[in-house]
């Protein structure tokens, strides 16, 4: 069973992800804020991370987490899907995201598109 870590500050979205992905056969772990200590992610051992760029009042906290994940050797190879409404930030950073094999699904999203994006990320 593939393990997916979802990091989002919306409790509604976290519950949606938990329900949808559990029904699809994934093990789901949710966090409502950025994970500062990447050793926590090492302990979780996710096969995929779904991350929002904007978490709470700190607009860049999700982005900072993404950058840390890609720099830290133990987490650098974990596939990441950004699930965000921050379209301008995504456009500005498209080159970086592509170079890091980070996939993006923009909010609001279609559930089938989300599942397809997850499957693609797990097979990169």
pLDDT of 72-96, one tens digit each? 999 999 999 999 998 998 999 999 9
What digits encode the pLDDT tens for the residues 44-63? 999 999 999 988 776 678 99
**Rounded average pLDDT over 65-70:** 95
The predicted model scores a pTM of 0.94
Q: Kindly state the average pLDDT of the residues 10-29.
A: 97
Domains of the chain: 3-122 (3.40.50.2300)
Residue owning tokens 């949808």: 20
pLDDT in the model for residue 11: 95
């Amino acid at each position: 069973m593939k393990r997916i870590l979802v990091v989002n500050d919306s409790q509604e979205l976290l519950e949606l992800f938990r329900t949808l992905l559990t029904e699809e056969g994934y093990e789901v772990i949710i966090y409502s804020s950025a994970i500062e200590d990447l050793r926590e992610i090492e302990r979780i051992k996710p096969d995929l991370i779904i991350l929002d760029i904007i978490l709470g009042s700190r607009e860049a906290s999700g982005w900072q987490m993404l950058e840390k994940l890609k720099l830290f050797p133990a987490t650098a190879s974990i596939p990441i899907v950004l699930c965000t409404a921050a379209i301008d930030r995504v456009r500005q950073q498209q080159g970086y995201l592509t170079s890091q094999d980070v996939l993006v699904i923009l909010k609001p999203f279609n559930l089938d598109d989300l599942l397809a994006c997850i499957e693609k990320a797990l097979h990169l």
